[in-house]
Structure 1
Amino acid sequence: NLSSIDVQDNITGVTPAYLSGDTNDDGILEPGEVWMYNATGIAEEGQYANLGNVTGTPEVGDDVTDEDPSHYFGSAPLIDIEKSTNGDDADTPTGPTIDEGDPVNWEYVVTNIGNVNLTNINVTDNQGEVPVYQSGDTNIDGILEPGEIWTYTASGVAGVGQYSNIGNVTGEYNGLEVNDSDPSHYFGEEPPRSTLGNYVWEDLDRDGIQDETDTGIAGVTVNLYTGGEVFVTSTTTNETGYYLFTNLVAGDYFVEFVLPDDYEFSPADQGVDDTVDSDASVIDGRTVTTSLFAGEVDLTWDAGMYLPLSIDIEKSTNGQDADDPKGPTVEVGSTVEWEYVVTNTGSANLTNINVTDDQGVIPVFQGIDLNNDDILAPGEMWTYTANGTAEFGQYVNNATATGEYEGETVEDSDPSHYYGEEKDVPTAHPLLTVALIGMGIVLFLRRKEE
C-alpha cells in the first residue's frame, strides 16, 4: 500500500485535483487501485508539453515516484491582408494625391500569419474592384501555408475627391473561416485644364505659310476629336479667323477643319516654323494627333485655305447684261457702248490681265487698279469699255478675260447681244392719201375743161 500520494505538474499554475478512485476513502493507494486527477488550462499557440509527476510512501522503505509527459499542438489559424494604393499603404486619408483620369494601382498582400495551412483564399474589394492573383503560391497547390505571402492586384482610373476602398480576405481551416481587412485611400485632384487653338487664314499665295498679307477667315467650322476619334465638341472661327477649345482634360486630340464652299486646303507642314504653317490634311482637313498635358496651352494648329484661281468677266451692251438674244434694240448706224467688268474671284493675285472681244472690238482699260501695280488682287474689279457702230439684225460678241498666277492661266468669257433695226421712212395716212389723189383728179378735170 502507498500513502501520501502527491500528483504534480511541472507547469506553474497547473494543479492536478483528485477526482476519484479511492474506493475505501482511506487515502491509501492499494495495489491495483487507480486514482484519477485532472487539471485545466487555456490552450496556447503552437507545440505544448507538460510533465505529470506522482510520489507515494510505502509501508516500508523509501518513497516511490513516477512521471509521464503529455503534449498538444495549439492551432492558430490567422490571416493578414495589407492593401496599398500606388505603392502607398494609405490606411488613413488622404493617401496619395492622384490627378483625375490617371491610373490607380492597388496591391493586396495576403499573408498566413497563423501556424496552420489555410485553403479557399478569397480576396475582394468593397468598391467593386476585382483583385487578380499574381504570385506567391510556391507549391501551386492552392494552400496558403504558414508564412506564405500571396500578392493580388487591381487597377482603376482616379476620380475627383477623397476615395476609400477596403481590401478583404478570407481563408478556411478545418471548416473555420478566418478573415482580415485593410483600407486604403487616395485623393483625386482635378488637374489644370488645357487649351488648344488657333487660326484659319486666307492663303493668298497658296504656299501653306502665313504671310503678313494673309487675313483670317471667319465662320469656319472646326471640330475636335479625341485620339480615338471620339467627337468632343465643335466651334467656329471668329471674325479674325481664330478659334479656341478650352477646359480640356489632358489627353490625345486632333482637329478637323471643314472647308467653306469653293475653298481648297493649302499644302500642309510647309517650312520649318510650326507656328505659321498649315496643319490640315488636304485630303480630309484633319491634323495629326497631339498629346496635351494638364494645363497646357497649345496654339499651333492652323489651317490655310484658298479659293481656286478664278477670274470673272461680265459684259454689257448699252447698259444691259444681254447674255441672251435679242438684247437691246438699237438703230442701225448708231453707236453701241460695251462695258467689260473683270473681277478676281479667286484668292491669288493675277497678272498679265488680257481682255479681248471676238468681233474685233478692242476693250480699253478704264479703272480701277487700286495699287497701280498691274496686279488684279483678289476681289479687285477692273473696268474696260469699247464702242462700235450698230449693224442690222441680231448681233452677238463674246468677251474673254485671262490672267496668270505663277505660270497658270485662268479664263472666263461672257457674251452680249443687240438687235439692229433700220430707221423708219415716214408714210402718209391712208385718208390723206385718198384726199390728195382726189384733189389731183379734180385739178386734172378742170384743166381738161379749160
Structure 2
Amino acid sequence: MKWERKIMNRLHVMFVMLIILFSVPSAMAITVDGVRGVGEWDENWAYAQYNASSYNPYASFGDRMVVRQGVYNNPVDLVTDEWNDIDPKDDSGGDFDESMAVNGVAATDYSSGLDVSKIYGHYDPINDILYGMTEVYGIPGDGDGNGEIYSEEPADGDTTAGPAGSGIGLTESWVIRIIQVSTGDSSLILVNANAWTVSSSVGMTNSDVYAHLTSDHFNVANPDDLPKSVYEISISDFSTFYDVSPGEVLAVEVLSGSSGDSSVGEDTAVVFIEIPNPEIHIEKATNGVDADTYEEAPELSLGQDVTWTYVVTNTGNVPLADVEVTDDQGVIPVFQGGDTDGDGLLDLTETWTYEAEGTAECGDYENVADVVGYYGVIPVTDDDPSHYVVSCEPDIDIEKSTNGFDADFPSGPAIEVGETITWKYVVTNTGDAALTNIVVVDDVIGTIGNDKITDKADGDDVLEIGEEWTYIVTDTLEECTPLYKNTGNVTGEAVDDGTVVTDEDPSHYHCKSVVPTLTPVGILAMIGALGILGMVTLRRRD
C-alpha cells in the first residue's frame, strides 16, 4: 500500500542521513574565542542587516535560517509574526541613525548602540554541537564611549557601568534563548558582567554552555569602519536537550541590550535552524482524472488518445536536485514546466509538470508513476498509480474448407479414392481484444498443431485484433465414403482478462464411384453380347 511505501521511504531517508552524519567529516572547525576567524563562519549561515544578498535560507547540511526583528514569545509567533530577510531600516525609531552604535551619546546622533548586526547559527550533527555567534554594533560594555572597556567610568548618566575588564557593563546584557518550536521548551542563557547563568526547561545548566565575549572596540570618529562586538557560544551534547530529528525547528533568539533601555526589543533578532526534512510527492492523472483506483478510472474507448499528467511537488523543507519521473509501463514522461527560477532545483514553492501520451487498450489498465529527487546524496521517492478502463468484446472465428470448397452443407466436393484431401482452417480475431492460447481441434482428426500453421502474420503467439492464422492439413482418400463430415473448433483467451472465446465450422465431401472406361472394341463386344443374349431369350420363348 502507498502508506507502507511512504514509511519505508522515510526510514530509508533517515538511514541514509545517519550514514552521512557518521561518515562525513565536519565541514568547518569553529573556535569559540570571540573572534570571527577567516573561513570560520559561512556567510550563508548569517542573518545580516546590510548584506542580505548573501542570505541563503537553505544552507549547508542541518541549517535553514528565517529571521525577524522583535521578541520571540512562543511557537505561535512562528506563524503570526511578520518576517524579514533583512533588518528593517530605522527599526529603532525615526530619530536614530542605524549605522552607528554607542551607549551614553545623545539619541539624536546615534542609534541605541545595541542593535544586532549579524546572527550566525550552525548545528554540527556529527559532533552534536550547536554553535552560535552574534555581531553587535558597538560594545554594550563601553559605557563611557571612549572606545575601550577596560577602564569604565560613569558618563552621561551611566552610573552603573561594569568594573574594569568586565567586558560588558552591569546594565548591559547579552541574552540567548533557544526554543524547540514544536513544544515550546526553551533554555535562557543570560550573560551579564562577563559571566552567564542558564535557566532551562530541558535540563541545561551552566556547565553545558561555553561562551566567549570579544574585547574589540570601535572608533567613534569613523562610524563607517567599526569593528563589532563578537559573542560566541557552543553547546555540546545538544541532542540530549533538544530534538534534532528531520523537520524539527529550533528558534535561537538573541538580545543585546541594556536593562535600562526601554526599547530593548528593537535589539532582538531570531534565527531558525530547521533540520532538513527532504520529501517529494507525485500525483498522476489519466485524461485529467486522478484515478488512483479502478473505481475512479475513466471509461475510454478502444484506440482513444490517452494523456497522462504527472504533477511533482516538494513536500519537505529543502530544495531537491536531479528530479526524475518514470512510468512502469514504458511511456516516457516529458517535462512541461514549473522551474520558475530556472535553477534546476525543485524548490518548495514550485510545482513541476510532466506529460506522456498513449492509445487506449482493452481491459483494466494500470500504470504507476515514480519520482526521485536528491538532497545532497540523500534520495527521496514517491509513486502514484493511475487507471483507465476500456470495455472490449473478445471474439474469434474459424472457417474450414475442403479442397477449396467451404462445404458447410452436404454433400460437398466429390473425391475419388486415391485423391488428396486438403482441409484448410482460417482463424480470425473478430473481436476488439487481443487473444492468446489459440487451440484448433478437428472432431475427426484431433488437435491441429501449430506445425500446421502456414500463415501467422507477425509470427508471435498473440492473435491480434483482425489478424488471421491459417492451418493446412492434407490426407489421401483410401476408402470410399458416401458422405463425410468433420468440424473444426477453435478456442482462445483474451489477453487482458482471460475471457475464453470459441467458434466452430463444419465441412463435407462425398466419394465418387469408379466407372470403367470402354474402348470401341469393348463397345462392339458388348453389343454383340447383348445380341446373343437377345437371340437366346427368343428361342426359349419359342
Report the TM range for the smaller structure's normalisation. Answer: 0.3 to 0.5
Q: Which has the higher strand share?
A: 1
Q: Which structure has the larger Rg over C-alpha atoms?
A: 1
TM-score, normalised with respect to structure 1 = 0.38
Larger helix proportion of the pair: 2
TM-score by length of 2: 0.33
